[in-house]
Amino acid sequence: MHGRILSAVTLAAALTLLTAGATLADPGGQGTVTTTQQFRDIPLFAPQAMQNPCTDEPGVLTATAHTGVFHTTTFATGPEIWLTTTAEGTATFTPDDPNGVTATGHFAEWFGVSANNKNEVDHDTSTFQLKGSDGSHIAVHEVIHFSTNANGSITGNFDNMSVHCG
């Protein structure tokens, strides 16, 4: 669902920072560059079409990251980067039918990348907990893993998502 969008955006940022790492490092080539950025009140992803698992009603899921941290470390001694992003905030399911069941709640997400000239590993975990206007409970959990070796061959790849009504 939204993990693929976030993964693509974060991977693009990671690759940009990876290529910039040597430039940003100290002139002697001995150091690391670490950056940490905080963000507040930004949309987590574009509205995602989905069905309410409790009612089967179509609608859209939106989320706003009320707090988040984007952290990177690059190394002057070689093409290597560590990157993590965490975010938490509110989420809303709005049904296509204005008389349908709406749901609101909380989400938390973590994304990380470790890359060097020998391999790359990307991870993402997301959890959404929403309460419906009819008292129902929607839980969405996703875990994504992607890894490659020095030849660019994929050595691991999965995207496990569960959506439950309770």
Which pLDDT score is estimated for 46? 85
Length of the chain: 166
Which pLDDT score is estimated for 93? 95
Residue in the structure block whose two tokens are 């907990």: 129
Which pLDDT score is estimated for 30? 57
Q: What is the pLDDT of residues 6-15, one digit of tens each?
A: 443 444 344 4
Domain ranges of the chain: 2-165
pTM, rounded to two decimals: 0.75
> Which regions in the chain score pLDDT beneath 50?
1-29
Enclosing H/E stretch for 120: strand 119-132
Q: What is the pLDDT of residues 60-86, one digit of tens each?
A: 999 999 999 999 999 888 788 999 999
